[in-house]
Structure 1
Amino acid sequence: MGREFIPLFDNWAESYDNTVAGQDIQYREVFRNYNKILSDVVKHSGFNVLEFGVGTGNLTAKLAAAGKQVIGIEPSKTMREIAKQKLPEDVVVIDGDFIDFPSPPFSPDTIVSSYAFHHLTNQEKREAIKQYGKILNEHGKIVFADTVFKDHKAFIAAIENAKKKGFYQLAEDLETEHYPTISEMEAIFTSEYFRITFQQYNDFAWVMEAVKMKT
């Protein structure tokens, strides 16, 4: 459920915003166009938004600034504390993860996340999407920004390229976590009656917009 990565989140919390701003050269390409990526997630979202993997609250803050009603789910206490410093008092960020989370106080029309869904195995991803399909009404949306690869060959090439550049932390990250391919994400979403589209923003990051279809 991604909770095995909580120590990583806690350790990364203080420097996360510097990383997404491009100050860590190893992750500069991963987060290139970061503000546009988050802004486009907001643009494709409805009014009642449930966000998973809030992190330090960057996407949450943009959703709130756009007038959305948003509740955030974040398993790392350290990340939650940083996020709360950025957010309006009426924006709630609570403990939980993609699969184990409290029922939201409203009926969401959109479920969002940024740079977090890859912490789940493909089996866990499918379990999560199945839950979201029960929460969302027809035409409800899932809008996720995350690292995805066109195919397994592109994934292996990314690891080899990272090592070639001496980006060993990035290479270890790619080898340790659960980064999916486009076809894997398509299979997961379509099996739960979502129609999904993909838009690429850099060599790593895509925004995936999935619309719930009539079952």
Structure 2
Amino acid sequence: MGREFIHTFEQWADKYDQSVSGSDPEYREVFKDYEIILDEVAENARGAVLEFGVGTGNLTKKLIKNHWQITGIEPSEKMRRKALAKLPGLRLLDGDFLDFPKPDHQVDTIVSSFAFHHLTDAEKEQAIEIYSRLLSNNGRIVFADTLFGSEIEKKRIHRWAREHRYFHLLKDLQTEYYPLRGTLYRMFRKHHFIPYFKQLNEFAWLIVAEKNS
């Protein structure tokens, strides 16, 4: 998962929960309806769940409430400490979207929130291919992530961030790998998933991809 962003994750660890709660005006629209977004992911999960990019454990907490069997993957040591402070006993491993300890049990759902965009498009496709082999028959991928519906939308959002002088957000938009919805759709179909997209706020989308094999 773009290990080049580890430094960013370490910096975010102390302020992440405040940012997602809306206290940071620059990221308020990115995380608008954050709790509802996480609820959508948790409600679409089932069975044995593998979560990538656990961060501070906010999605994980909701998954546990739904009584799913959870294995968490997180590359940032500082984020792992934050998550384990909230959720003692969580099975949380060092790894990323591409390089992670393979579970010794069947995986029914792979989930993530606000993290998949740290992979390049080539890495995203590589990850989807790995997951297609890892998931059980009729397994699913359930992501909440930032993406653009079109190139026109991408340019509009960049312009909006620049006009509001949200320069940290603009840098994220320019240096991280926010995908186009159509690009993701083609990747999922290539690897025998049936994807569904639902826009949840100006930036975030729910992506549910059912394995079709």
User: TM-score interval w.r.t. the shorter chain?
Assistant: over 0.9
User: What is the CA–CA distance in structure 1 between the aligned matches of 2:37 and 2:206, rounded to whole Å?
Assistant: 7
Q: Which residue of 2 aligns with 1:49?
A: 49
The offset of 1:152, in angstroms, is: 1.1
Percent identity, please: 47
Q: How does 1:141-156 map to 2 (within 5 A)?
A: 141-156=140-155
Give the TM-score, by structure 2 length: 0.98
In the comparison of the two structures, how many residue pairs are matched? 213
The offset of 1:137, in angstroms, is: 2.1
Q: Which residue of 1 aligns with 2:9?
A: 9
The offset of 1:106, in angstroms, is: 2.0
Q: How does 1:1-215 map to 2 (within 5 A)?
A: 1-89=1-89, 91-214=90-213
User: What is the CA–CA distance in structure 2 between the aligned matches of 1:47 and 1:130, rounded to whole Å?
Assistant: 21
Per-residue CA distance 1:108-127 (angstroms, 9 max, x = gap) = 10000000000000000000
The offset of 1:61, in angstroms, is: 0.9
Q: Which runs of 5+ in 2 are unaligned?
A: none
1:144 is paired with a residue whose SS is strand
Give the 4+ runs in structure 1 shifted more than 6 A: none
2:112 is paired with a residue whose SS is strand
User: What is the CA–CA distance in structure 2 between the aligned matches of 1:65 and 1:14, rounded to whole Å?
Assistant: 24
User: What is the CA–CA distance in structure 2 between the aligned matches of 1:47 and 1:34, rounded to whole Å?
Assistant: 24
The offset of 1:103, in angstroms, is: 1.0
Calculate the aligned-residue CA RMSD, in Å: 0.8
1:99 is paired with a residue whose SS is coil
User: What is the CA–CA distance in structure 2 between the aligned matches of 1:48 and 1:88, rounded to whole Å?
Assistant: 19
Per-residue CA distance 1:161-209 (angstroms, 9 max, x = gap) = 1010111111111000000011011011111000000111110000000
User: What is the CA–CA distance in structure 1 between the aligned matches of 2:177 and 2:171, rounded to whole Å?
Assistant: 12
User: What is the CA–CA distance in structure 2 between the aligned matches of 1:103 and 1:198, rounded to whole Å?
Assistant: 27
User: What is the CA–CA distance in structure 2 between the aligned matches of 1:202 and 1:105, rounded to whole Å?
Assistant: 36
The offset of 1:157, in angstroms, is: 1.0
Give the TM-score, by structure 1 length: 0.97
User: What is the CA–CA distance in structure 1 between the aligned matches of 2:206 and 2:17, rounded to whole Å?
Assistant: 20
User: What is the CA–CA distance in structure 1 between the aligned matches of 2:2 and 2:105, rounded to whole Å?
Assistant: 25
The offset of 1:14, in angstroms, is: 0.4
1:196 is paired with a residue whose SS is strand
User: What is the CA–CA distance in structure 2 between the aligned matches of 1:106 and 1:184, rounded to whole Å?
Assistant: 31
2:196 is paired with a residue whose SS is strand
Per-residue CA distance 1:39-83 (angstroms, 9 max, x = gap) = 110100012100000001100111111111000000000000000
1:46 is paired with a residue whose SS is coil
Q: Which runs of 5+ in 1 are unaligned?
A: none
Letter of the 1:50 partner, please give it. Answer: L
